Amino acid sequence: MEETANEKFLSRRRSAALKGLKIKDERVATLKRVAAILQKSEINRTAEETEILISCSDVVKEVNLRQEKRHRVKARLEEVEDAPEILEEKCIRLAAAISRATSLAVYTGAGISTAASIPDYRGTNGVWTRLQQGKDIGNHDLSLAEPTLTHMALYALYKARILKHVVSQNCDGLHLRSGIPRTLLSEVHGNMYVEVCRTCKPFREYWRLFDVTEKTARYSHGTGRLCHTCNAVLQDSIVHFGERGNLPWPINWNGATRAAKQADVILCLGSSLKVLKKYPWLWQMDRPIHKRPSLYIVNLQWTPKDENAVLKINGKCDEVMKRVMSHLGLEVPQYNRAKDPIFFHAVRLTSNEQHTTSQPCLEEPPTIVKKELSEISDQRLCEGIAPQTKEDCISPKKITQTVSAYPAPFFAALPFLSMGLPFPPMYMCPQLTPLFYYPFIQIPDMNINMPKPEPACTFCMENEGSLTCLYYQKETDTSTLIGSEDTKTLVIHTDSPIVSAKNPGWFGKGYRKGMKKKR
């Protein structure tokens, strides 16, 4: 009896499944037939076809909805440019917003690097678009790429103290090469010129002059080279689709989160935002709408954040930023290879490592003496240290001469000292503008015999006027000198690994998990 009951049950399930498949096949056939009829004009339709459309009104409605959705998706993929007069008006509005911003955060995508002959992904001629069409993506030598006008415009905004942080989805390293310090940069998908040792605590980082991802892939990040300290296999910093980026540098999710909280204006350049939209803390979605930062988007295609933007500019990034910087009255500097930090901070390959790569190297500027660079690199490698734990130049004495403080101002002994000020108030010096006034209000050194601070990195001192290195994170701003006075060695301590309060995970899963715990 039990076997008979089971057989009957299975038979009923089988017949129900067959019936469902039959109904589904009939509906699919009806949808195809109605779609074919709707493609004809009303004049060419027969009486029988007209009766089918009348009897299947619900199917006709579904076919029309599908067709509208298909057209909408196709329209979103099209690249649209604003008319010149409209573009100029929008650029003026964007320049006004940037000038009023107290904390500007910029989110960039592949669109800002297309002018450097690096293809984007979702554009009409992008990598993924061509792959979907079955076309060849071609060969692109990224070693020939240089920072574009947009990269240098962002560097100018940083120098003007307007730009506070850049969140980049690009792996080309052009933001870092343009001169933006790494503390103000989050390369959330990694950097193709950076490989790290995850075994060292804190982790060590190696800059290279070539693409380190030649032998790496998804879930396989070994580059084939070894750490100079612990002999562990070095790994690239790239975050592939579906992976989690947990490196404190160059990914720097902590810096991106802090910048998003403090930002009052967010500018998105050349990004479809289909990935960044998944990270809600970048847009402060937990705040009320009126308390969120103002959003401005520059992109040729549609983005999912267009409805939330104060202004959407359909234009090329270089053209838009050129107009905006002109309205702001800021000059966009030309890219200079001699001031590219990658050539100074990169670790050269030893003779035993030459076989580990076949990628073309970046062309070094002629002003850099290769012999001196090789001596610095060999010295680092012999001592078994990464570049962030060793002095970046051999002769700091020449640089310290330029760091001398301003002499005591001529009014240092005047009666206003009784007011408790070592300098006159600005209203007593109406002939001095703030630009000329503030350099004179520095307090002179009381102890002449005090040793002058020595720069941690001569490159940053010469090009940025910074006593600390802007491209390798240090534990403190003050460095430790060891050894005798004649042979002093500057040791730069690296940061301990940053423990993120919330692990971003993939598409913000860690953030949502944290929100559930709070509730």
Query: pLDDT tens digits, residue range 269-318?
Result: 999 898 898 889 899 988 998 899 999 999 999 999 999 999 999 999 99
Residue 98 near residue 324 (C-beta atoms within 8 A): yes
Strand-pairing partners, residue 481, are 490
In contact, 303 and 297? CB cutoff 8 Å: yes
Angle of helix 317-328 relative to helix 149-159, nearest 10 degrees?
A: 30
Question: Can you give the pLDDT at residue 67?
Answer: 84
Taking residues 337-353, report their average pLDDT.
Answer: 90
Provide the pLDDT for residue 319.
95
pLDDT score for 124: 56
Backbone dihedral region for residue 296 (phi beyond 0: left; psi -120 to 50: alpha; all else: beta): beta
Cα distance between residue 200 and residue 386, in whole Å: 11
- Sign of the dihedral through C-alpha 195, 200, 201, 204: negative
This prediction's pTM: 0.71
Q: What is the model's pLDDT at position 380?
A: 46
Residue 228 is a catalytic residue: no
Model confidence over 76-85: pLDDT tens digits?
Answer: 778 889 999 9
Q: What is the pLDDT of residues 166-217, one digit of tens each?
A: 999 999 999 999 999 989 999 999 999 999 998 988 888 899 999 999 888 8
pLDDT of residue 497: 38
Confidence of residue 482 (pLDDT cuts 50, 70, 90): very low
Which residues are 401's β-sheet partners?
A: none
Query: Which of 14-18, 55-59, 129-133, 193-197 bottoms out in mean pLDDT, i.e. has the lowest?
Result: 129-133
Across residues 339-348, what is the average pLDDT? 91
pLDDT of residue 122: 57
Q: Tell me which of 165, 175, 189, 221 is the catalytic residue.
A: 189
Residue 121: name the closest of 69, 172, 185, 177 by CA: 172
Q: Which of 37-51, 199-213, 253-267 has the lowest mean pLDDT?
A: 37-51
Residue 178: exposure state from Cβ atoms within 10 A (0-12, 13-18, ≥19): buried
Look-up: residue for tokens 């690009």?
170
Residue-wise pLDDT for 405-452, tens only, equals: 333 334 334 444 444 444 444 445 555 444 444 444 444 444 555 667
Strand 294-298 to 265-269 pairing:
parallel
pLDDT band at 329 (very low <50, low <70, confident <90, very high): very high
**Mean pLDDT on 118-138:** 56
First to last CA, the chain: 54
The backbone torsions φ and ψ at residue 454, rounded to the nearest 5 degrees and listed phi first, read: -100, 140
* Helix and strand numbers, DSSP H then E, in the chain: 15, 12
With both helix axes pointing from N to C terminus, report the angle between 57-77 and 2-38 in degrees, rounded to the nearest 10: 70
- pLDDT at residue 390 in the model: 38
**pLDDT tier at 395 (50, 70, 90 boundaries)?**
very low
Range in 60-64, 429-433, 475-479 the model is least confident about: 475-479
Strands 233-236 and 222-226: antiparallel
Which regions of 272-374 does DSSP assign to beta strands (E)? 294-298, 311-313
